[in-house]
């Protein structure tokens, strides 16, 4: 056993907490679920390997001396991967600042706080690296299996990107802390995390639409103009790409730089971490003055009171805003495409059917999140349950609140579509309603009281609900996609969606 208060002692403590946290997240706190989780993970790994085979199998023969275009595409893909890691790391760092749990104990103890925070940052970095490696594993395995062991170097690249992402996220979060203060950092970091994760891919897609009138990001990366403007083939920017292709020297450099960046960041920032945590804890006790919506009580039925309350809470929830921002950001390319289609007098009209499933999918996902907040994330369940309102009326008001929010977000898109094609607007509207209603219904069947702050982990409470919600959204999106092309085959995914819902109803607890 290591001596108390040392780095290794703290590391053991942190590792144990992280392991239990992960286990609880995977099994939803039920030990019996471990076997099921293991089986599910194996099935998921098999599925991911098949998917990876379909996606990257044809690139396995790519040589270490790849041409500039290939290096540009690989580098961009790695950058996308890295930005997602940064997004994840920022969220973990923000939680480390604002989730108090054991921080009072640590800061009140006579131990050197900088050691605890050094270990805590390192644990976050290791978790990010582990996630990076696990996410990349199916793709690397497929490439190594088909193209040779040299592709295994990509594991090192994934780890290096994880280290660098954690280092960058810590730096960015602390920079936010120092520039805009602890009160605004919480929300800003969440928004930045969402934007960082989505911005690159969305930026490429918007660029593709504006420049080439296509939704393909690859077209932009492989275009002559883009490649010509990219750095010279000897640039250090391509080290990660070369390392991935099996260049051992570049791999050593990339891994060394990634690790070094993390060590430097830990050395610089861990002594100040405690101060920031104390500052963050301080703002939690400060009451925010709210500009009243009205200085007078407005007449309300129980239903309208519930709807208004839900909308106010949704608008005032910074965590929700950041979590939902990603879903809303993905609507940006369809919005640009619609705008371009108007501008070009309908020459891009051929792409309109592509928009329909994107909108339907986004609506299902957004509705699932909002429904969870309104139904399971009710902060005063006893108050609502003791009100003289029949439970079915309460549920109806909450469903109306969710569907109202969906209408506000998606109505402009449907209206714009209607201007171009009434038929496609109708298909999109029906798809949006079906996907949103299905996701909301699943949340009603699997409601389990939780705090709103647990929104990020809402999938933990029921894996069945999560899969059912995602699967029904995908099925409705497929239905809309096929219906948009005018084929009766749309009935097949629609039947699958309805079947999914019926099956979910049968195994739901209520």
Residue ranges that bind other proteins, judged by CB under 8 A:
284-293, 296-302, 304-306, 308-309, 312-313, 316-317, 379-390
Question: Least distance from C-beta 184 to other proteins, angstroms?
Answer: 15
User: How far apart (Å, rounded) are the C-alpha atoms in residues 481 and 68?
Assistant: 36
Task: Name which of 3 and 286 has its Cβ closer to other proteins.
Answer: 286
Write the CB contacts of 258 (distance below 8 Å, at least 6 apart in sequence). Answer: 159, 160, 161, 162, 163, 164, 167
Task: Name which of 31 and 289 has its Cβ closer to other proteins.
Answer: 289
Question: Least distance from C-beta 291 to other proteins, angstroms?
Answer: 8
Chain Cα centroid distance, residue 66: 32
Rounded to a whole number of angstroms, the distance between the first and last alpha carbons of the chain is: 48
Task: Name which of 229 and 510 has its Cβ closer to other proteins.
Answer: 510
Task: Name which of 273 and 372 has its Cβ closer to other proteins.
Answer: 372
Task: Name which of 219 and 317 has its Cβ closer to other proteins.
Answer: 317
H or E segment to which residue 301 belongs: none
Question: Least distance from C-beta 395 to other proteins, angstroms?
Answer: 14
User: How far apart (Å, rounded) are the C-alpha atoms in residues 124 and 22?
Assistant: 13
In sequence order, what E strands does 294-396 have?
Answer: none
Question: Least distance from C-beta 499 to other proteins, angstroms?
Answer: 33
Question: Least distance from C-beta 289 to other proteins, angstroms?
Answer: 5
Task: Name which of 72 and 375 has its Cβ closer to other proteins.
Answer: 375
Phi, psi angles (nearest 5°) of residue 64: -60, -35
The SS3 of residue 114 is helix
Question: Least distance from C-beta 293 to other proteins, angstroms?
Answer: 7
Give the position of tokens 């990257």.
56
Question: Least distance from C-beta 60 to other proteins, angstroms?
Answer: 52
Task: Name which of 345 and 388 has its Cβ closer to other proteins.
Answer: 388
Give the position of tokens 């395995």.
141
User: How far apart (Å, rounded) are the C-alpha atoms in residues 258 and 155?
Assistant: 13
Question: Least distance from C-beta 27 to other proteins, angstroms?
Answer: 23
User: How far apart (Å, rounded) are the C-alpha atoms in residues 309 and 377?
Assistant: 13
With contact defined as beta carbons under 8 Å apart, do 192 and 90 qualify? yes
Q: How many CB atoms lie within 10 A of CB 413?
A: 23
Residue 83: which of 252, 321, 273, 326 has the closest Cα? Answer: 326
Task: Name which of 3 and 290 has its Cβ closer to other proteins.
Answer: 290
DSSP state of 59: G
User: How far apart (Å, rounded) are the C-alpha atoms in residues 306 and 316?
Assistant: 15
Task: Name which of 229 and 392 has its Cβ closer to other proteins.
Answer: 392
Structure tokens at 4: 């108390």
Question: Least distance from C-beta 308 to other proteins, angstroms?
Answer: 7
User: How far apart (Å, rounded) are the C-alpha atoms in residues 429 and 415?
Assistant: 9
Q: Write out the DSSP string of 402-421.
A: HHHHHHHHHHHHHHHHHHH-
Question: Least distance from C-beta 439 to other proteins, angstroms?
Answer: 23
Task: Name which of 112 and 305 has its Cβ closer to other proteins.
Answer: 305
């Amino acid at each position: 056993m290591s001596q108390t208060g040392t780095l290794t002692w703290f590391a053991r403590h942190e590792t144990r907490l992280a392991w239990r946290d992960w286990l609880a997240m995977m099994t939803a706190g039920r030990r019996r679920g471990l076997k099921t989780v293991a089986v599910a993970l194996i099935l998921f790994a098999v599925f991911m390997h098949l998917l990876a085979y379909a996606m990257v199998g044809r690139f396995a023969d790519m040589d270490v001396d790849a041409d500039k275009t290939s290096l540009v595409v690989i580098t961009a893909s790695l950058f996308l991967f890295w930005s997602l890691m940064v997004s994840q790391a920022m969220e973990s760092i923000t939680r480390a600042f604002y989730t108090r749990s054991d921080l009072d104990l640590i800061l009140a103890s006579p131990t050197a706080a900088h050691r605890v925070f050094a270990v805590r940052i390192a644990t976050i970095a290791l978790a990010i690296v582990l996630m990076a490696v696990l996410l990349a594993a199916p793709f690397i395995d497929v490439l190594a299996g088909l193209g040779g062991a040299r592709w295994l170097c990509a594991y090192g690249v994934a780890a290096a990107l994880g280290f660098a992402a954690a280092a960058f996220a810590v730096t960015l979060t602390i920079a936010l802390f120092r520039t805009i203060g602890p009160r605004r950092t919480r929300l800003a970091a969440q928004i930045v995390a969402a934007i960082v994760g989505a911005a690159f891919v969305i930026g490429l897609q918007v660029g593709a639409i504006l420049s080439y009138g296509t939704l393909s990001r690859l077209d932009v990366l492989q275009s002559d103009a883009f490649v010509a403007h990219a750095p010279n083939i000897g640039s250090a920017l391509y080290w990660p790409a070369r390392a991935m292709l099996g260049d051992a020297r570049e791999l050593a450099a990339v891994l060394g730089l990634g690790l070094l960046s993390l060590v430097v960041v830990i050395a610089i920032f861990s002594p100040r971490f405690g101060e920031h945590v104390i500052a963050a804890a301080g703002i939690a006790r400060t009451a925010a003055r709210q500009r009243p919506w009205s200085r007078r009580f407005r007449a309300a039925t129980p239903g309208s009171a519930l709807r208004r309350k839900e909308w106010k809470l949704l608008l005032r929830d910074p965590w929700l805003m950041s979590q939902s921002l990603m879903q809303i950001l993905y609507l940006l390319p369809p919005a640009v495409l619609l705008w371009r289609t108007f501008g070009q007098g309908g020459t891009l009209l051929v792409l309109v059917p592509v928009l329909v499933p994107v909108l339907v999918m986004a609506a299902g996902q957004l509705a699932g999140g909002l429904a969870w907040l309104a139904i399971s994330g009710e902060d005063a369940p006893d108050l609502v349950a003791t009100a003289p309102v029949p439970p079915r009326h309460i549920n109806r008001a909450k469903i109306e609140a969710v569907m109202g929010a969906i209408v506000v977000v998606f109505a402009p898109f449907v209206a714009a579509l209607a201007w171009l094609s009434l038929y496609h607007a109708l298909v999109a509207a029906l798809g949006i309603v079906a996907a949103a209603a299905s996701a909301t219904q699943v949340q009603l069947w699997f409601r389990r009281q939780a705090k709103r702050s647990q929104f990020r982990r809402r999938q933990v409470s029921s894996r069945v609900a999560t899969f059912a919600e995602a699967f029904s959204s995908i099925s409705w999106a497929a239905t809309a996609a096929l219906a948009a092309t005018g084929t009766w085959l749309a009935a097949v995914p629609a039947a699958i969606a309805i079947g999914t819902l019926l099956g979910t109803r049968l195994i739901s607890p209520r």
